[in-house]
Copies of this chain bind each other. A is one copy, B any other.
Amino acid sequence: MKVDLSDFRVRPGEPVKLKHLDTHAPDGLSSEQAAVQTAQWQERLARLQDRLYAEAKQSLLVVLQARDAGGKDGTVKHVFEAVNPQGIIVTSFKVPSEQERAHDFLWRIHAHTPAAGMIAVFNRSHYEDVLVTRVHELIDKKEVHRRYQQICDFEAMLSSQGTRVLKLYLHISKDEQRKRLQDRLDDPEKRWKFNPADLEERARWSDYTDAYQDTLEATSTEVAPWYVIPADQKWYRNLLISKLLVRTLEDMDPRYPTSKLDLESIQID
């Protein structure tokens, strides 16, 4: 089964209706088939990452956003485990600290963008500042739109300075969220991940839907596109993201550096 990644890309200027976008895998693809394909993509991912690191000229920033239990942690674990830990830094953005709140909302983000050669993964990101803050009415509509523009400008700057920006919204259904939160409660080894505040956020499901739709519409650009990844089945999500990372890195085309010195002739004693 062939998957066309561009189907999941949010085109600049086009409206986004999440309820019309799949949260699940297509019929006819089994989890076993997907696992085999994912392993193949991850091998290619590891090889491309080695070249990216060696080249040390470009970098890749992967932004992960999702509702609670949407699979951000699982994506980090199962997709990025294939990559040399020396070449990747995962940053989980929590509720801002007092010091962070004393700065503009991009300040703490900028400190964690990837150096040349590196992959940075944001588990939550600056997008929380146009999602949570909006749903909880901490900022008004005018400020939301001001921030959209500031985000687009910031990401365009990163892109033009050598950082490829890839943004993934992990799209789960309301029923899948229910199952996953319930599973956290029922499993003693997962219970620590359960946060009672998640239930309050769940009650605002449709407010978040509106906030996500507006955000995806306003901030998916040519240089920093959003992808809406069907994420009810973890194995399908992992397959799509692994493939997307490979295609992105292939497009970046990192090369092993060549030396100007005549190294080939050296014999070491």
Tell which of A76-84, A95-103, A125-133 binds the partner: A76-84
Minimum CB distance partner of A199 in chain B: B268
Q: Which one, B80, B123, B196, B267, contacts A261 given CB within 8 A?
A: B196
Q: How far is the CA of A185 from the CA of B54 in the complex (A)?
A: 15
* Listed stretches A9-17, A29-37, A186-194, A222-230; interface member: A186-194
Query: What is the CB-to-nearest-CB distance from A108 to chain B, in angstroms, rounded to a whole number?
Result: 15
What is the CB-to-nearest-CB distance from A204 to chain B, in angstroms, rounded to a whole number? 14
- The answer to whether the Cβ of A269 comes within 8 Å of any Cβ in the partner chain is yes
A264 part of interface (Cβ distance < 8 Å): yes
Report the separation of the CA atoms of residues A258 and B193 in the bound assembly, to the nearest whole angstrom. Answer: 10
Given A81-B84, A84-B81, A267-B182: A259 touches B90 (CB 8 Å cut-off): no
Asked whether any CB of chain B lies closer than 8 Å to the CB of A92, the reply is: yes
Chain A residues within 8 Å of B, Cβ to Cβ: 54, 73, 76-77, 80-86, 88-90, 92, 121, 123, 178, 181-182, 185-186, 188-189, 191-194, 196, 199, 202, 256-259, 261, 263-264, 266-269
